Amino acid sequence: MSNKQRPSALIMLFGATGDLAKRKLYPSLYRLYKKGRITERFAVVGVARRPLTNEEFQKHVKDSILTHIGENTEIDQFASHFYYHSHDVTNTQSYRDLKTLAEQLDEKYSLEGNRLFYLAMAPEFFGTIAEHLKSEGLTDTRGYKRLVIEKPFGHNFESAQKLNDRIRTAFAEDEIYRIDHYLGKEMVQNIEVIRFANAIFEPLWNNRYISNIQVTSSETLGVEERGRYYETSGALRDMVQNHMLQMVALLAMEPPIRLTTEEIRSEKVRVLRSLRAMSKEEVNEYFVRGQYGAGEVNGEDVVGYRNELNVDPESNTETYVAGKLMIDNFRWAGVPFYIRTGKRMAAKSTKIVVQFKDIPMNLYYNPAEPLQPNLLIIHIQPEEGITLHLNAKKSGKSSTIIPVRLNFANKSVDRMNTPEAYEKLLYDSMRGDATNFTHWDEVALSWKFVDVISDVWENTKEKSFPNYPAGSMGPKCADELLQKDGNFWWDVEKFVIETC
């Protein structure tokens, strides 16, 4: 492996005692270390408010790895690269101390001045931290300097722009790595390959042959202990503005002229620019919302959203969104992209269904058993793979046509678990590959699209809430949204990929 593939870095992790660091970041770094993708030339400075010694912090890191990976070979050696700095984000002296520590570690581990500042904490401090990193000289380094920043990136376009202006005072656009962890998922990355490496799909990938595309991301979890955040976000800001629109962009973009970060991102931006804008009056024609009531999930009774911790008992926040997106360009004119996402639904699953148009003339017309349309299913999670639904003759003498499925399951080929999204994204940010991070232009356009909807929804109390029971696939209005077009949601719960 070349040096570019085994990058050195000082990772300064703000929010080091938080949930994301514990569940995702430490286990991902450990896996990268075990695979030899990061060598001994790395150090992590955990930055958080509470006082901890280096030893206590290292124990915290080791515990999180044991809990989440259940393995501990070389763990002491790995954890010895972790240091702790107790920090108050507004205290200038504290940044100076961080700088001194960074310089020492740079020397000790031969890090060539490479610095990755990872903000995995409350977003209200993002701007303040970025400004201090610059004013106190931490960004003044001979190696690379990069800012990795978690969502939410703003609350709407205006606040996102303000935040962007602040972080841009310290980092150039190409030094900012805005995380959308869906872009790190194996099968989300596979969308482009399925489309652009297969002669049988790309010629059909347009409004002549595709009837509609459905993207479903359902969760069984409720809001857990995140009620306070979720009340200000709702499913629209939490999932649609980022993950759902990113998947649509990948499904709809034109083939890039080259597989470079700039070319791919600019094609995605063009899709977001082509999204049909809605007037306020049109919002409820294109988008519907839901909120879960009490119900049963995986055999257990669960409370409704309004009874969750830190949630207003009269809350108007949506925990479910379904929408119809129209992409007004030559390729997609007339093809609806339906999206839906929600909490406390029947299954934890993300799937894309591409429904092809019916064949022009049906030679096998049988009113008792109408021919099924061809479908391409991209299974993003929990299973990973693709399924193609075709029609074929039932074996034997009868001329009955039956649907058949061609399956490809990622795991049965690799016979190993695909890396976690965070593992890939961390590695990419260290290698300087920003392809699977969101550019400001994408963030800005997504907010502008979503802001129209949230403006309307926040200003009209939804009287039907709660309108779907926990453990269901969402409210009735989501079915009606498709029925108006003569379509229906495919029952994705049944589209389970068979692994061999």
Residues engaged in binding ligand BG6 (CB under 6 A):
181, 219, 238, 350
Paired sense of beta strands 320-326 and 336-342, if any:
antiparallel
Considering beta carbons, is residue 197 or 221 the nearer one to ligand BG6? 221
The span from the CA of 436 to the CA of 434, in Å, is 6
- Bridge partners, 275 (sequence order): 327
| DSSP percent split of the chain into helix, strand, coil, nearest 5 | 40, 20, 40
Peptide bond into 382 cis (omega under 30): yes
Using CA of residue 245, residue 251, residue 255, residue 256, what is the dihedral sign?
Answer: positive
Identify whether the C-beta of residue 302 lies closer than 8 Å to the C-beta of residue 296: yes
CB 252, min distance to ligand BG6, A? 21
Considering beta carbons, is residue 133 or 297 the nearer one to ligand BG6? 297
Backbone angles phi, psi at 373, to 5 degrees: -70, 155
Q: What is the DSSP string of 180-246?
A: -GGGGSHHHHHHHHHHHS-TTTGGG-STTTEEEEEEEEE-S---TT-HHHHHHHHHIIIIIIIIIHH
CB 18, min distance to ligand BG6, A? 13
Q: What is the DSSP string of 325-345?
A: EEB-STTTTT-EEEEEEESSB
Identify whether the C-beta of residue 332 lies closer than 8 Å to the C-beta of residue 206: yes
Q: Is 439 a catalytic site residue?
A: no
Considering beta carbons, is residue 175 or 219 the nearer one to ligand BG6? 219
CB 116, min distance to ligand BG6, A? 21
Paired sense of beta strands 9-14 and 115-119, if any:
parallel
Considering beta carbons, is residue 37 or 181 the nearer one to ligand BG6? 181
CB 460, min distance to ligand BG6, A? 24
Residue for token pair 């430490």: 26
Considering beta carbons, is residue 350 or 410 the nearer one to ligand BG6? 350
Considering beta carbons, is residue 133 or 148 the nearer one to ligand BG6? 148
CB 380, min distance to ligand BG6, A? 8
> Residue with the closest Cβ to ligand BG6?
238
Buried b (16+ CB within 10 A) or exposed e, 132-156: bbbebebbebebebbbbbbbbbbbe
CB 359, min distance to ligand BG6, A? 35
Q: What is the DSSP string of 3-51?
A: TTTS--EEEEEETTTSHHIIIIIHHHHHHHHHTTSS-SSEEEEEEESS-
Considering beta carbons, is residue 85 or 351 the nearer one to ligand BG6? 351
Q: Name 275's Cβ contacts closer than 8 Å, sequence gap at least 6.
A: 325, 326, 327, 328, 445, 449
The span from the CA of 242 to the CA of 155, in Å, is 12
The span from the CA of 89 to the CA of 132, in Å, is 8
Q: State the catalytic residue, choosing from 81, 87, 243, 439.
A: 243
CB 286, min distance to ligand BG6, A? 23
CB 313, min distance to ligand BG6, A? 21
Q: Which residues are catalytic?
A: 243
